[in-house]
Chain A
Amino acid sequence: MPSDRYSIFSVLLEALRGQSGWRPAWRKASPKPAYDVILVGGGGHGLATAYYLAKRYGLSNVAVIEKGWVGSGNIGRNTTIVRSNYLLPGNVPFYETSMKLWEGLEQDINYNAMVSQRGVLNLYHSDGQRDAYARRGNAMRMHGVDAELLDTEAVRRMYPWLNFDDARFPIKGGLLQKRGGTVRHDAVAWGYARAADRLGVDIIENTEVTGFRIADGRISGVETTRGFIAAKKVGLACAGNSSRVAAMAGLNLPIESHVLQAFVSEGIKPLVDGVVTFGAGHFYISQSDKGGLVFGGDLDGYNSYAQRGNLPVVEDVIEGGMALMPRIGRVRLLRSWGGIMDMSMDGSPIIDQTPITGLYLNAGWCYGGFKATPASGLCFAHLIAKNEPHEVARGYRLDRFRTGHMIDEKGMGNQPNLH
């Protein structure tokens, strides 16, 4: 009998019989001629959408079509941080919904995603910044999200080795969300893929969508490298490539693709037990369970599909790191990588129907796609199943730029490379 459900007993049983009973986490499905729903993109968001469509909305005649392999996109190219420390009304309930789903994820999908609520601390360096963080913390608490404003001494007790007396950016305190933390990113993709597969979803890898069949403003299926597949509804969740895929359906999106680099050092002993962000620059750091310091910074700032960055941003990130924690100067950099971000014009995502009947869009996640994965999947599944937005994702309209209802969390206007 193959081990189907992961538990302490299945692990012990397999230990005794030489790990011979495990079966693949998901089937290598071949496309059927037709589905109720096809999701384009087998990353975190597409797989989570498929899972919630089957689990919560009773639609299991669903296929996820992925051009590479499951987890080959941004779900495998990020810094694994989850948090819900947002300010604006359109954002806070959505990201808090995501946070709550993270908290119950492993039991829900029977997969160890290493959800670790190690705390996210945003440092501030001036009185103005403290006031802005106090306001943000209050907004969070009014929505039932945990937030604590710390002074210098409280931060010093947590991380005594930070560079508190930096001449330009002394650390005055920080805004702490204790429930924030990190999640093993690949495991999120694998766990959702396995859970969706168990509910009957076909996960079709190494198959690229090459076009859409659209007649009279209604979609009837997708053209792929393995032929035509009919579908009543098609959902796009292909961050980084959203513009290219949507262009095949004749849509021109308010999105640019930019590369965001991240870095990991050689493994060292435990140093940073939470996530720390340097409010003066754009630098954030955490430590993986293997011991590597994982950190990142700004976008490279120009359009790119290259999945690799350039040196000026590498230098900028490392300078930020050195300013914040000078002791990392002798740690060697192990590797760096670049993910392609869907940068939207206000820094907020899009979960909406498109002008084409039966075609749905989930795009524009900017930096924040990973932490949003569960709620994005839930809200996109809701939209596809019911043809109306989920209550926590009502603000993420495609036409909000035209109507003036932007959700500009950073107050940077319509410059995608600034968000």
Chain B
Amino acid sequence: MRIRCPHCGERALDEFTYLGDASVTRPDPTSPDAAGEFYAYAYERRNIAGPTQELWYHQAGCHSWLVVTRDTRTHEISDVKLAEDVASKRIKSTAGAA
């Protein structure tokens, strides 16, 4: 498995560190069921067999956080984006919805 970093190009897997699911967002601590939401956020996993978005850190490279779209059944990587781009897009879309 090799990951194509947007800054550094295609690099070997051992340059990267895996963090986990990139599709979850930290719950609002002021929401009425904050305890339940934080439990789900910290412990429950969708654990999908198929394409998933996950966070990888290019530790031995440019130190970027990446959002990698990878199929957990085949290890095939279909997309890599910078996490900051994904996050700013997500903030814009929620701001637009509000």
Q: Write the residues of chain A forming the contact surface with B, with a CB cutoff of 8 angstroms.
A: 241, 243-244, 247, 252-257, 301-306, 308, 310-312, 345, 401-402, 414, 416-417
How many residues in B have their beta carbons less than 8 Å from beta carbons of A? 20
A311 to B15, CA, bound (A): 12
A76 to B9, CA, bound (A): 39
Question: A416 contacts which chain B residues (CB < 8 A)?
Answer: 45
Q: Please tell me if the beta carbons of A304 and B14 are within 8 angstroms of each other in the complex.
A: no
The residue from B13, B42, B75 contacting A304, defined by CB atoms under 8 A apart: B75
Q: Please tell me if the beta carbons of B45 and A305 are within 8 angstroms of each other in the complex.
A: no
Question: A304 contacts which chain B residues (CB < 8 A)?
Answer: 72, 75
**Which single residue of chain B is at the shortest CB-CB distance from A416?**
B45
Give the contacts of B49-66 with A (CB-CB under 8 A). 49, 52, 54
Q: Please tell me if the beta carbons of A302 and B45 are within 8 angstroms of each other in the complex.
A: no
A257 to B46, CA, bound (A): 10
A402 to B38, CA, bound (A): 10
Q: Please tell me if the beta carbons of A253 and B47 are within 8 angstroms of each other in the complex.
A: yes
Q: Please tell me if the beta carbons of A402 and B14 are within 8 angstroms of each other in the complex.
A: no
Task: Say yes or no: A243-B47 contact (C-beta < 8 A), given A306-B74, A310-B13.
Answer: yes
Determine the main DSSP class of A at the interface with B: mixed
Question: A417 contacts which chain B residues (CB < 8 A)?
Answer: 18
The residue from A241, A303, A310, A401 contacting B39, defined by CB atoms under 8 A apart: A401
Residues 68-85 of chain B, each 1 if its beta carbon lies under 8 Å from chain A, else 0? 000011110000000000
Question: A256 contacts which chain B residues (CB < 8 A)?
Answer: 45, 47
CB-CB nearest 10 A-B residue pairs: A243-B47, A312-B14, A302-B18, A254-B43, A401-B43, A305-B49, A252-B44, A310-B1, A305-B73, A305-B72
Q: Please tell me if the beta carbons of B44 and A306 are within 8 angstroms of each other in the complex.
A: no
A417 to B17, CA, bound (A): 11
Q: Please tell me if the beta carbons of A257 and B47 are within 8 angstroms of each other in the complex.
A: yes
